[in-house]
Every structure is written in C-alpha cells, then in structure tokens.
Amino acid sequence: MNFKRGLIAGVIGTATGALLPIILIGGYTLFYWFWHDSPAMDREADLAYWRTYGAGTVIGMALFFGLSAWATYTPPGKHRFVGTLGILTLCSLLPMIFLDLILGPSPPTHKGMEHQTDWSDILFFSLPLLAVACLIVLFRWFKFSDSEATAASPQSHPG
C-alpha cells in the first residue's frame, strides 16, 4: 500500500471536488446574470440561496472526489479514477439518494427555520462513502497480494 501517494491524491481530489461546484455553478450563475441582465434583487436572492444550501454541495463533492482519489491511488496496482467514481456512485451514493428520497430531509432544528445543511446530514452521507472507499482499498489490496503470491510461487512443471 502506498499511503503517501493515496494521501496526496486524496488532498488533490478533495480540492478538486470542492472547487468543481463553485466553478461550474458560479460560472453558470454569472453567465445567466449577464445574459438575462438580472436585477440586483434576483442576484441577492441567488447569493442568499447559495449561502444557505451551498455548503452541503461543496462538502459533499469534496468528500466524494477525495475518497475516490484516495481509494484509487492508495492500493498497489494501476486503477482508474473514473472507475472508482463509478463504484462509489453505484455502491453508496445512489442508495443514499434513494434513502433520502424515501425518508426525506432531516427536519429543521428550530420551528419556523428553513432547512439548512446540517452536520448530521453530512455524516449520514459520508459514512457509507467512507465504508465503500475502505472496502475498495481492501479489495484491491487483497487482489494484488493474491496475484503477487501466485506470481512468486514456484510452478510445478510436469515432466
């Protein structure tokens, strides 16, 4: 296992995951404001919306990309980042989205307050991601260990 390589990749993936929604959504919003000549009231409403709900998106994408990069580059062997993203999506993110749709968002903590990103929601989504990422690393490590053991074992030749 290459923990240093996995840690560096995880930090890079986390930074990329945090910047990606900011750049994409921010760029789209600025382009929309410019193209439609949005009034100041609409721009203020958009900014207030992102102050309320944007933290969960940025933290979620940072966690998702960071764990994907860590699970890709920590185990020995050559693995693809996109494949790890796909595995994490299928095994943890999609089931969590369906659970969230069935159970609904957590209720507001105070009466009359709007629902905001809560740390319990972030924990609810991050634990399955972390568990699946750890399972990917372990599976790939054991798979590499087995293939290394069979390559090193003496082969009996019939003769």
**pTM as predicted:** 0.75
113 assigned to some structural domain: no
Q: What pLDDT does 111 receive? A: 53
The parent domain of residue 52 ranges over 3-105+118-145
Q: What does the pLDDT read at residue 159? A: 47
Residue 73 within a domain? yes
159 within domain boundaries: no
Is residue 156 in some structural domain? no
CA distances in angstroms from 25 to 14, 31, 32, 50, 80, listed in the order given: 17, 10, 10, 10, 26
pLDDT bin (cut points 50, 70, 90) of residue 116 is low
Residue 40 lies in a domain: yes
Name the CA dihedral angle for 28, 33, 36, 40, rounded to a multiple of 10 degrees. Answer: 160
Specify whether the CB–CB gap between 145 and 80 falls below 8 A. no
What number is the average pLDDT over the span 107-129?
66
Q: Is residue 74 in a domain?
A: yes
Residue 100 has pLDDT above 50, yes or no: yes
**How far from 138 is each of 54, 125, 142, CA to CA, in Å?**
33, 21, 6
46 part of a folded domain:
yes
pLDDT at 78 over 80: yes
Mean pLDDT of the chain: 83
CA angle 97, 103, 105 (to 5 degrees): 75
Q: Is a pLDDT exceeding 50 seen at residue 70?
A: yes
Does the residue 63 lie in any domain? Answer: yes
Contact (CB, 8 A) for 137 and 75: yes
- How many structural domains is the chain composed of? 1
